Structure 1
Amino acid sequence: MTTNHYTTIDTPTAPQMASFSQATMVAGMIYTSGQVGMNVATSERDETFRDEVNRAIDNLEAVLSAGGSALSAVVKTTCYLSSMDLYAEFDALYRERFAPPLPSRSTVQSGLARNFRIEIEAIARVIEA
């Protein structure tokens, strides 16, 4: 959907929420909402933390792709962990999925909905017109 100021991005290949868009695009940049490790088919969280992190990044990648972008075009992420005890494992998994040069990143501890342990939001350049 396009307004006078921005375009919303929504794809069925990532979790959809009724109260906000998966992402918005303006001036060649995509701003995603937080993506969690939710399986779109079951609406459930992945069991292991490893799978949950990879699913959250898969969901982020799906939203970016729907907007003409990719993980390689991400310039900034904000990552929310339910516990900083998960930081070392999260960091290793993140580095498996994001190639150098790594985007700028903030990682904070936060209470997350529905017992999710990770949520990732991103700002990325549009790379496809």
Structure 2
Amino acid sequence: MTREIINSSRVTPMRSAVNHAVKSGGFVFVTGVTPFRGAERMTATIDKGDLVAQIHQVMKNMQAILEEAGTSLDRAVKMNIALTDMSRYAEFDATFRTYFAEGNFPARQTTESARLAHPDFLVSIDCIAEA
């Protein structure tokens, strides 16, 4: 089975020992995507306190990573969402659903995480998609 490392030049580089995604076995496994905006780590920005803006940025980053891997959101089969405040689930869901055709939603689990990798992150999403 071949394994291909995927990193998108349109997404902020990871600072930890992790890549944006790995393509293997007919699937693309995307690391938890964050709401950083910008392709340079030192100048990347975050929409602090704005959940909807952060969701849009995460999904934009996700699309860039999936495109780099030769696939797209419409081929997503499973996503795991980490929210720092589950009381904002309805707000999250209303924004998230705009990225998919009605009825073509991926399987999904949403959990509350008191603390994400950066103190200003409100959301992080990982994904498994068909290659």
Residues 1-129 of structure 1: matches in 2 within 5 Å? 5-18=2-15, 19-41=17-39, 42-47=43-48, 48-99=50-101, 100-110=103-113, 111-114=115-118, 115-126=120-131
| Separation in 1, partners of 2:129, 2:37 | 23
Indicate the RMSD between aligned Cα atoms, in angstroms. 1.3
Residue 5 of structure 1, CA deviation: 4.3
Aligned residues: 123
Residue 49 of structure 1, CA deviation: 1.5
The normalised TM-score by structure 1 is: 0.89
* Secondary structure of 1:80's aligned partner: strand
Structure 1 residues without counterparts, runs of 5 or longer:
none
Deviations 1:68-98 (A, max 9, x none): 0100000000000011022110000001112
Deviations 1:9-41 (A, max 9, x none): 011111211320100000110000011111115
* Secondary structure of 2:18's aligned partner: coil
The normalised TM-score by structure 2 is: 0.88
Structure 2 residues without counterparts, runs of 5 or longer:
none
* Secondary structure of 1:12's aligned partner: coil
Percentage of identical aligned residues: 29
| Separation in 2, partners of 1:88, 1:43 | 28
